[in-house]
């Protein structure tokens, strides 16, 4: 999508933000939703909630049949939270930081490739967008979940930048991680995301790609806002 494009917008405003891990999707999406005054949903947290549930139930993430069976009825839901952000609930409770551990990250990466898992999550995400609109961020929002979304952005950055961002994030939570190990994990996650048969991570012709490497979150948001306002949505700058 070129910045000059003027997509037709009707109904609730829907913005899709995709990209690999560590490119700043969550921060940018949350800020953008706040600037636009619309809801925000981190769809990756939904997959992570299921990954946490898989571990809680003692299921091997590699056991596709059992994971897909669990996904079909997993008690994953969304609830409006502070500032327009929607909390992801697991068994009626906010998941919080429990879904951000390395163990949950690994389990999530493994189960996210299963078609049955993606079908359930996609269904929940489409219901959310139809009801509330807003900014949804993930890995297949603009390509699979909401391909007709009027605004689709793909955030990307070099692996080295993403590793350092993730390392700082984990350090802030008191978790020390070796940079080389983290690089291997991110590269493996990229391989899984880009090579899976069902909803692979990709930047479609309809996405506007933004390299977040040299930009802070505020600059990324300003670029997205410019596109949205150019289409006549979003009101006056603030």
Over residues 134-154, the pLDDT tens digits come to 999 999 999 999 999 999 999
How does strand 86-90 pair with strand 93-94?
A: antiparallel
Q: Determine the pLDDT at residue 8.
A: 52
SS3 138: strand
The predicted model scores a pTM of 0.86
Q: How far apart are CA 223 and CA 237, in angstroms?
A: 12
Burial of residue 190 (CB within 10 Å: 0-12, 13-18, 19+) is: middle
Q: Determine the pLDDT at residue 7.
A: 52
Q: Determine the pLDDT at residue 4.
A: 40
| Mean pLDDT, the chain, integer | 90
If one compares 164 and 4, the residue with the highest pLDDT of the two is 164
Residues 6 or more apart whose CB falls under 8 angstroms from that of 78 comprise 41, 46, 86, 87, 88, 89, 124, 128
Q: Determine the pLDDT at residue 90.
A: 95
Q: Nearest-CA neighbor of 155 among 236, 80, 209? A: 209
Q: Determine the pLDDT at residue 10.
A: 58
* Domains of the chain, residue spans: 14-228
For the domain made up of 14-228, give the CATH fold. Answer: Rossmann fold (3.40.50)
Element (H, E) at 85: none
User: 6 falls in which pLDDT band (50, 70, 90)?
Assistant: very low
pLDDT for residue 11 is more than 80: no
Q: Determine the pLDDT at residue 234.
A: 60
Question: How far from 202 is each of 25, 101, 165, 175, 237, CA to CA, in Å?
Answer: 15, 25, 21, 30, 31
Q: How far apart are CA 113 and CA 174, in angstroms?
A: 29
Query: 66-120 pLDDT, tens per residue?
Result: 999 999 999 999 888 766 788 899 999 999 889 988 899 999 989 998 999 999 9
């Amino acid at each position: 999508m070129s910045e000059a494009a003027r997509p037709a917008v009707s109904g609730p405003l829907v913005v899709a933000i995709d990209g690999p891990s560590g490119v700043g999707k969550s921060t940018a999406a949350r800020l953008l939703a706040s600037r636009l005054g619309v809801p925000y949903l981190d769809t990756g947290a939904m997959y992570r909630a299921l990954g946490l549930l898989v571990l809680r139930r003692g299921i091997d993430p590699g056991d596709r049949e059992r994971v897909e069976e669990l996904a079909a009825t997993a008690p994953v839901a969304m609830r409006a939270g502070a500032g327009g952000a929607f909390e992801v609930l697991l068994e009626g409770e906010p998941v919080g930081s429990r879904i951000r551990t390395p163990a949950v990250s690994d389990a999530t990466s493994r189960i996210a490739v299963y078609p049955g898992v993606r079908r359930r999550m996609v269904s929940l995400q489409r219901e959310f967008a139809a009801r509330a609109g807003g900014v949804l961020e993930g890995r297949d929002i603009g390509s699979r979940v909401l391909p007709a979304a009027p605004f689709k952005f793909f955030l990307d950055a070099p692996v080295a930048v993403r590793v350092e961002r993730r390392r700082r994030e984990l350090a802030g939570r008191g978790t020390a991680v070796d940079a080389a190990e983290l690089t291997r994990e991110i590269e493996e996650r990229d391989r899984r995301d880009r090579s899976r048969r069902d909803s692979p991570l990709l930047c479609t012709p309809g996405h506007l790609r933004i390299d977040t490497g040299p930009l802070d979150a505020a600059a990324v948001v300003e670029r997205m806002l410019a596109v949205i306002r150019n289409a006549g949505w979003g009101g006056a700058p603030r």
